[in-house]
Amino acid sequence: MDMTGDDVRRKDYRFPLDLLQSGEVVKICAPMVRYSRLAFRSLVRCYDCDLAFTPMIVSDSFIQSEKARDSDFTTNYEDRPLIVQFAAKNADDLSAASQLVYPYADGVDINCGCPQRWAMHEGYGACLLSKPQLLVDMVQQTRARISDDQFTVSIKIRIHDDLKHTVELCRRAVHAGVSWITVHGRTPEQRGQPVNLSAISHIRQSVSVPVIANGDIKSLEDVKTVCEQTCVQGVMSARGILSNPAMFSGYNHTPLQCVADWVDISLRLGTSFQSFHNHLMFMLENITSKSDKRVFNSLSSITSVLDYLSTQYGLQVTS
């Protein structure tokens, strides 16, 4: 595990449960494979993101391989509050992985919603929606190994076709000791269908822990609408914040200052060129013409990207 900086156990911030119990809407950056790494988390924290997740990390690889730990989990002093999301299929792996990250994070989250075929085939993600006892065991064993009340154990789920099964799953998880629940308002089979806000609202009313709404949060106006309709304690954005890291600050499109901040942060932290370039492709999507997109997307070096940003947008950045 790469812990950048002198001290990653900073305590001069609000813990996740303190945020979720504050009465304010908590704005959260979702776990995104390849994307919600340290540099991007650092960027969104500059634009009113209250809480950030790591990408989903496979727990068994994480505990077995030092190389995997160094690759998958990088943090620093400013990267708090932080939740580490794990894909796990047994309680031993999850609890052991949780112990490894405990000194450097504020909680772990169990991915119970990933619908990708590889994850389902391996027994991760949305598979857990049909294995409530396994989920209970995961929560209880992690709680038994880490007694710190400030360290949260949460779950991120999708919904069942029959919502009563989702409510029962959530109630069992709460009884086992889960701290809070993120609900993506679609079933594992659904992709572009509208998010089921009434389902999220029903789950919110059915459990005693905070509930986070996830799905189609693309603007501050969406945050307001979803909270009004569901009464959740927080919202989580993935694709929306990927395209516009400043969305929680009220920007409808990525401001150029945010682009400049990304360049500064990513180069300072040593982000790979692929990640550096891909994030910029997302950020510039809605403010660049089709012809310019083709040019920008074909760039293959940091120098060419910096030259492009200087010529097209007047951003004076250096490598």
Catalytic residues: 114
Write the DSSP assignment of 74-97 as a string of letters. EEETT--SEEEEEE-SSHHHHHHH
Cα separation, 273 vs 280, whole angstroms: 11
Q: What are the phi and psi torsion angles at 256 (to 5°)?
A: -60, -30
Cβ contact 240:249 at 8 Å: no
Cα separation, 180 vs 236, whole angstroms: 13
Backbone φ/ψ region at 228: left (φ over 0), alpha (ψ -120 to 50), beta: alpha
Cα atoms in the Cβ-side hemisphere of radius 13 Å centred on 253: 7
C-alpha of 34 from chain center: 11
